[in-house]
Chain A
């Protein structure tokens, strides 16, 4: 099935610079409809109002972390199927395993490049 490039993508990060970088990379990859949230709580509120085709989230945020957001999403019957990629500097084994167990679709360690982001999105949504 072809990837819906118009489906909104939600970028969740408390660093505006990182949001801007990911937004630009997504734009280069053909995703024009990009929304943003500064932490897990704001993201969850937005997700309850809008159906996103993909969530790209940082881990370390306040007051709700990306890990907490992931668990909330996977525990919600409606939000559950939303593809979720974690993009984070948290690179300990326990973090990767915990995210995997919580149901993350893919995991990118910062710093990353455009090629890595493209490959992980393709692995989750399919080739585009």
Chain B
């Protein structure tokens, strides 16, 4: 009910009381009851105020703590510096590895196509080409250092996220499968296994019957163990 309307109703009630017979015992009972109800309402609202205040204070402190923890994650540093930096390092690794591999293959192709009719000239040529291969192999030291920087960045992110999740009591939410995830699942795009092939070439050979006996159902079942 709007405030002016309430005020009007109270004003009307007071006017009615002034005009009433105050000695009427029924009116006394009504006033007594109104007084008790008023006290009860006052107690209820004061407790409501306190619990609301406590709740608001808790929420405020939680937001402050969350802001502090997010700040400790240094999200701007991660998104503007560390993650792009790690991406650039990995890109450089891929580029240097490909360049070195192509250089080594080109040298090998030159050696295989070389004229062998003059042994002395051939030996000198091969010797020069071997030096080129050694030089190309220096990429390994640089890529090793680059990969170490990427690993350091990942470790840094892992530690901060771990602390954040622990402090905030965060649990992993269920995620909906994206189109990319669906394609990966349907096309069995698992990528290379970490510690070498999951199924060895010998086991695959047995499955295709190219070397040794063909696989029977029990061998096939064993692949799934």
- A105 proximity list for chain B (CB < 8 A): 208
For the A-B complex, the count of residue pairs with Cβ-Cβ distances under 8 Å equals 77
CB atoms of A89 and B211 under 8 A apart? no
- The size class of the interface chain B forms with chain A is 20 to 34
Contact flags B173-199 to A (C-beta < 8 A → 1, else 0): 000000000000001111111001111
Whether B188 contacts A98 by the Cβ 8 Å rule is yes
| A67 part of interface (Cβ distance < 8 Å) | yes
Which of chain A's residues have a CB closer than 8 A to the CB of B101? 17
Question: Which residues of A, 75-126, contact B by the 8 Å Cβ criterion?
Answer: 89-98, 100, 105-110, 112, 116, 119-120, 123
Complex interface: chain B residues within 8 A of A109 (CB): 197, 199-201, 204
User: B223, A96: Cβ atoms under 8 Å?
Assistant: yes
Residue of A whose beta carbon sits closest to that of B215:
A100
- Tell me if B154 counts as interface (CB < 8 A to partner A): no
- With known contacts A24-B105, A60-B191, A91-B192, A112–B201 Cβ distance under 8 A: yes
Say yes or no: A93 contacts B223, CB within 8 Å: yes
Q: Which residues from chain A contact B102 at a C-beta distance below 8 Å? A: 17, 20
Q: Chain B: residues with CB nearer than 8 A to chain A?
A: 98, 101-102, 105, 108-109, 187-193, 196-201, 204, 207-208, 210-211, 220, 223-224
**A-to-B contact residues, CB < 8 Å:** 16-17, 20-21, 24, 59-60, 65, 67-68, 89-98, 100, 105-110, 112, 116, 119-120, 123
